[in-house]
Amino acid sequence: MTARFLRFQFPALLWAMLIFVSSTLPQGFFERFGVQYPWAPKVVHVLFFFFLCLFLNRAFQSLPASSFLGRRSLPMSVLLCLLFGTLDEVHQMFVASRHPRVTDVLLDVSGAILMAAALWLWDRFQSVRREQVIS
C-alpha cells in the first residue's frame, strides 16, 4: 500500500467497514449500554454518513484534478453515500433482528448532504478570503 492510499482512501474504506459491521449488531444493542433515547440510532445514522461523506470527498479530492472524480468530488461523495446506505439496508434484510427501512436511507443521505453543504460553504468562505488577501 502506498502512503497516498493510507492517507486519503484508507480512512473512507475503514469508515465504510465500521458502518457495515455496526449494521450487523442486534436491534437493541444501544439499550445494553444505558442509551434510552429512541432517537439515538437515528442520530447515529446521520453521523455515520456525515463523516463517510467527508472521508469520501477527501479521497476523491486526492485524485488528479483532471479526473472525473477529482472534479466532482462532492456530488460523487453524496451519490456514493446514497448507494452505500441503500446497500447497507439491503444487507440488514439478511441480519437477524434487523429490518431495512427507507427512512434510514433518507437519514443516511441527509447526513451526507449536511456534510456536502458544510464543505461547499467552507470552500466558498476560503475562496472569498483568498480574494480579499490578493486584492
For residue range 103-125, list pLDDT tens digits in order: 999 999 999 999 999 999 998 88
C-alpha distance across the termini of the chain, in Å: 43
For residue range 17-70, list pLDDT tens digits in order: 999 998 888 776 666 776 677 777 889 899 999 999 999 999 999 988 888 877
Helix (H, G, I), strand (E, B) or coil at 39: coil
Least Cα distance to 88 among 16, 26, 40 occurs for 16
CA distance 90 to 101: 9
Asked whether the predicted pLDDT for residue 135 surpasses 80, the reply is no
